[in-house]
Every structure is written in structure tokens, then in C-alpha cells.
Structure 1
Amino acid sequence: MHAAAFSPRGGVARRAARLRGQSTIEYVLIIAVISLVVVFAGPQVSQAVHNQFAGVANTLAGGIHGGGSGLGGTSGGGSGGNTPDQEQKDYLEDMKSVTDKDPRDWTLEDQKKAAEDIAEKGTASVAFPKARDAMDAGTKFSTKLTNGETLEYRIVGINHDDLADGSGKAGLTFETTSPTLPSQRMNATDTNAGGWEASELRGRLNTGDLWSLLPVELQSKMEAVTKMTDNQGGGKGPGAPSATTDKVFLLSTTEVYGDLQSDGTQYEYYASKGVTTSNCSGASSSLGHWTRSVDPSYSALFRIVYSNGNWGDGSAAYTDYVFPAFSF
């Protein structure tokens, strides 16, 4: 081997500059030649070749793993993930399958995709106009319960409820519109002490027999959200609202009427209908049903929404219909 084969700084003369364009076989041959040089050359040259060898090895690794023309990659892009342009393309195609449909035809998966996109992008989401129009129109969705009954529900909130993990908003909140669940009591005895937080009905909706009526496909898409409610009860007068974490909940009177008590804030659906305590027709439903709000002046009563939209009270041990709500 002649000394002229090496650069004055100890590297192979300008060879490495073209390694990105070589095939894997050429890399192997280059490394083999360098290995022979290390064996037969003197210590000084060997050290220089050793340094160059490290550079070649790194180049080879980059070609194989970093998207060069080596194994496992293609020229100009790696094999480990999509480019931002491809990710954007995939996103648009994915959401197109949702927005091309009439919301009445949205599956549970479509509803979940729309909710997640709205939660991330707000009004800039391509699904937002469809969801808002579906909410304003009162479009109903449906799913089969485990007992074979059909549960109907509609969108009542968009980016309304706070996710319990603090990561932001749930994109869509739905309220049941069908009296599919049998009429239920709030508590075994006539007491509202502890409010919604301590109620028997809350436990059954979130972990008990009523929760088990919901199909797994629906359960898996529900998000745990934070609900603010006056949970004092006991006839002690209005209490400071406190937080509970729920996947299934009842609306409060404030979430329906907007100007009653301090249990959360009015949902967009009811606000769009102009619902107030003195203008109740937009809150009418197929049957009267429980809210999660206590009557703060009486120890035994929870608020009820009557079928004509007016509000009133019911004794906690009295059975009434349940129109649960949930968020995606």
C-alpha cells in the first residue's frame, strides 16, 4: 500500500464524500479493504485508518437506518414513520370518511373521530360544522344496549366539558333522549344529603348495573369528565359547587336552563333553543326525568325536568326516568 492512498490528515482521500450513494455491498467491500490496511500498515497509518473506519461505519448505519440506500430504507425517507406531508394526507383522508357522511349516518367510531378532532382543533376542525349543524337540528344517534333495547342520544355540547385528566376539553357531549333505561330512584331513602356525589344513582350509572347495560363499544369511547355540582344537600341551603369525575352523568338544571343554581354552565344545545326558567319549551322531552341538582331548600328533593320542559322537584326515593349524558 502506497502512502499516496491516504490524505495528509489521515483519511481516505475524498472517498467518504460519495458514500451516501453507494450500495450496501460496496460498503462491505470498503470496510474489508480498510481492515486489510489496518493489518499491514504501520501504527501511524493504522490509527488514521481506524478514525476513518469509524466514519464509514457511521455512514453505513445512517444509510441502513436513516433512509439512505441501505437495508430497511428507501432513498430520501426513513422506514420508521410518515413525513409530515403524509401524516396530513392520512388525516384528511381519515376525516373525509367522516365529513362526507350525513351525521345521521355517523357510526360510534365516526362520532369519536369527530369529537377528538374538534377537541384538538376547535372551530378549525373539518368536523366542527357538521357537528354543530347536527346539534342544532337535534340529530339523533342510536346504539343497542346489552339488554337489546335501543338507546337514542343527541349532541348537546361542543368542547364544553373538562376532561378529568386536565388535558383539555371533550370534543362532544351527548344526552340520551329515549326512556330506554327503566325509571330509577336517586337514593334508597328520601334524602339528598351529599347531592349527586353521594347518590346511589350515580354509582349505578358509572360502575354498577346501569353501567353494564351500555355496550363495550360505547363504554370504551367515553371520556371521564369533571362535573361541578352543589353536592351539599340536606336542606342546608345553597352550597359551594364541588367536582366529581364521571363517565356517565345526569345534566344539572343549570346545564339545561342556564339561570338556575350554579351547577356548571348551560349546554350549547339548550342555549341555541333560548331555554331559560321562564322559556322552557326548548327543554321538552318524551318523558319527565331526573337532573343531578338538589333542591337546596329541602332535604329530600332532587330537581326534575318535566316532559313539557318545565322544572320541578321529586323525592329522592321516588322513581323517575333517567336520560344519562356522556362525553367523547
Structure 2
Amino acid sequence: MVRRLLATLAIMSAVCGGFLTGSAVAAEPAKCNTGVDKVCYAGYNAAGLKQIADDLSEKGKGSTYYAAMEKNLTDGVKGTLTLSDGSNLPFRLIGILHDDRSDGSGRKAGLTFMAWNALPKAYCMNGTMPGNDSTTTCSGGSTNRGGWRDSNLRKWMNNGEIWNQFPTDFQNNVTTVLKQTNNMAYGSTVGSSASATADKVWLVSYRELVPTLYDGWKTYGGFQALNQEGSQYEYFHGKVTNNWSGNNILSGIYKTVSGSTPLGASYDYWWERSPCSNYGSSFLLVGSNGVPSGNYTARYRYSVVPAFSF
């Protein structure tokens, strides 16, 4: 009887992962398999990152993985994401327990990343994309009405052409989060306030890049809403200190996979999701010199630097 009991316990231990604590031991997060996995960060693939992020979401700073991920963020560790055309999109961890999950749990997404390069192709915020990639504008689209919520770029990033560029293991493991943006009427509407959208992939806002808003915009109609579009991501603390002129850390992000201007882009600028607070036709963008407070008409095509959470 004793031998039979010991044998049974041994089998259960092997199946369940160990009985040392009276419960199953969690599996080690999945590691990257070179040549197979399309997502790799700090040695983990998309499924592994999702497991780590879920643990952080549940346990907060008490998670086993918190210290290691915090060091990765501080050190600026880069990951790689292989797009459908075979090009590699580098990305960095910019926030831990920063974004709200959209699942109603009241928890934060464990890990938030941002690409450290632009997608190979440039996009307008609104309007109809041209068939010719050398064309720098979209038909129509000279508006920021409805903000990020109603923009064509948001649609393309979450369910359309841009979303389809991401590999299956990425699509199956990213966490949908709530992003606050000025979506009321036009970006310049007086007294406007931010509202949430549920996004799998998004653009960072002006407020998520800078420590404070530019004082010179206080008289503009949409200034109040700009301040409600999130808070500066942890990675940018102490690195992005100027809200009006150049920041070296931001000027280094643009360089594309090929080292050239994205198809159809006339300038090396990249979009933010924030509507311009004093014009009804523009969104904010980051210039080639790292200035985060530029703006341009929504029908023009500029670089897209996606952000996402696990």
C-alpha cells in the first residue's frame, strides 16, 4: 500500500509540475526559438511575455518578474518583431503596470512596449490611402473630428492593413488596453475632455511622451483634454524633458528598417494620437529633431511608430 501511494504521488508530481508546496509549480515562461518565433524580448517569445505580463498584472510589484523587467526598462533593452514582409521592427519596454486593461478587471496591463523604428510604409491619420506609395497625401481627411477614436489610422492599426502586418503570435498575445484621447468634436473644441478607446495597437499621445504640457497652449480650446491623455511613460522619465523643442531620445526613434524614408512619406516625422488643440484639421507629431509638439494636417502621410501591451 505504501509503495503504491508513493508511486501515485510520483506520477502526480510529474504531471502537475511538483508537489513541494502542495500545488502545481508554474511553468517557466516560453523562451524565443531563433528562426521560429516572430517576437522576442529579453529571451522570451510572445507567449512568454504574456505569461510574465499576466503575473505582473495579478501581483503587481510583488511579481517574481518585476525587478528583472524594471532593469530591462532602465537599461533600454530592445526586442525584435518580424513583420509580414520579413522586415524586423525593434521595440523597447516603456512602461510596467502603466495602462488599464479593457477587460473590466480593474487591473493594469503588465508590460507596455513601443516600436523603436517606423513601419516600412507611411500613413495618413484620415482620408483614403492612395494606390501609389510615392504619393504623400490621402484623398480627403483634412480633419481631426472625432480624434483618435474615429481616425482611419486607428482602424488600420487595430483591424486593417497595419494589424495584418503583425505575426500571429503577436496578435494572439497582445492585451487590449484603454487609451484616453481628446475625441470630442474637433481637437480645438473649447472645454473638450478625453474619453477612452479600447486598443490592441496604438500611437502614444503627447502627454505620454512629455513630463508637462507646453504652457503656451493654455489658451487653446483643447488644452484641458491634452492633459487627460495619459501620463509620461516610465522609460521617458528624465530622458524627455522638453515639451516644445528637441529631445535626442525621440529623434533616434524614426530611423526605418531600411534606413530610408517610409514609402510615401515626405518627412521623417511620426504621428502621435493627440489631435492638435488649436486646429480642427491636424494631429500632433514628433519631428526629426525630437520635437514632440509639431502638428500637421491629418491627410498627410507620416511615419507610424506603434505601441502595444502584453
- Alignment TM class, shorter chain as reference: 0.7 to 0.9
Q: 2:277 — aligned with what?
A: 296
Structure 1, residues 82-122: CA drift from partner, whole Å, max 9, x if none?
6571546x33x626979xxx964333333223222222222
Q: 1:180 — aligned with what?
A: 119
Q: 1:111 — aligned with what?
A: 49
Counterparts of 1:1-328 in structure 2, within 5 Å, are 74=9, 83=19, 85=21, 87=23, 90-91=25-26, 94=28, 104-167=42-105, 168-188=107-127, 189-234=141-186, 235-260=188-213, 261-262=226-227, 263-278=229-244, 280-281=246-247, 282-284=249-251, 285-286=253-254, 287-310=268-291, 311-328=293-310
Structure 1, residues 101-146: CA drift from partner, whole Å, max 9, x if none?
x964333333223222222222222222221122122221112111
Task: Point out which structure has higher relative CO (alpha carbons under 8 A, 6+ apart).
Answer: 2
Structure 1, residues 227-254: CA drift from partner, whole Å, max 9, x if none?
1111124232351110100001100000
- In structure 2, C-alpha distance between the alignment counterparts of 1:96 and 1:179, rounded to whole Å: 27
| % identity of equivalent residues | 32
Q: Does the CA-based 8 Å contact 1:256-1:275 persist in structure 2? A: no
* Structure 1 pair 238–323 and aligned structure 2 pair: CA distance change class (3 A): farther
Q: Does the CA-based 8 Å contact 1:141-1:153 persist in structure 2? A: yes
Unaligned runs of 5+ in 2: 33-39, 128-140, 214-225, 255-267
> 1:265 deviation in Å?
1.3
* Structure 1 pair 198–105 and aligned structure 2 pair: CA distance change class (3 A): same
> 1:186 deviation in Å?
0.2
Structure 1, residues 30-76: CA drift from partner, whole Å, max 9, x if none?
xxxxxxxxxxxxxxxxxxxxxxxxxxxxxxxxxxxxxx95xx9559x
TM-score (norm: length of structure 1): 0.70
Q: How many equivalent residue pairs?
A: 258
- In structure 2, C-alpha distance between the alignment counterparts of 1:274 and 1:295, rounded to whole Å: 20
- In structure 2, C-alpha distance between the alignment counterparts of 1:313 and 1:233, rounded to whole Å: 18
> 1:194 deviation in Å?
0.2
DSSP 3-state at the match of 1:105? coil
> 1:272 deviation in Å?
4.2
Letter in 1 for 2:173: K
* Structure 1 pair 244–85 and aligned structure 2 pair: CA distance change class (3 A): same
Q: Does the CA-based 8 Å contact 2:211-2:240 persist in structure 1? A: no
DSSP 3-state at the match of 2:149? helix
> 1:318 deviation in Å?
0.4
Structure 1, residues 184-226: CA drift from partner, whole Å, max 9, x if none?
0000110000000000000010011111110001111101101
* Structure 1 pair 97–150 and aligned structure 2 pair: CA distance change class (3 A): closer
Q: Does the CA-based 8 Å contact 2:29-2:47 persist in structure 1? A: no
Q: Does the CA-based 8 Å contact 1:237-1:297 persist in structure 2? A: no
- In structure 2, C-alpha distance between the alignment counterparts of 1:97 and 1:321, rounded to whole Å: 31
Q: Does the CA-based 8 Å contact 1:95-1:126 persist in structure 2? A: no
Q: Does the CA-based 8 Å contact 1:225-1:327 persist in structure 2? A: yes
- In structure 2, C-alpha distance between the alignment counterparts of 1:142 and 1:103, rounded to whole Å: 7
DSSP 3-state at the match of 1:203? helix
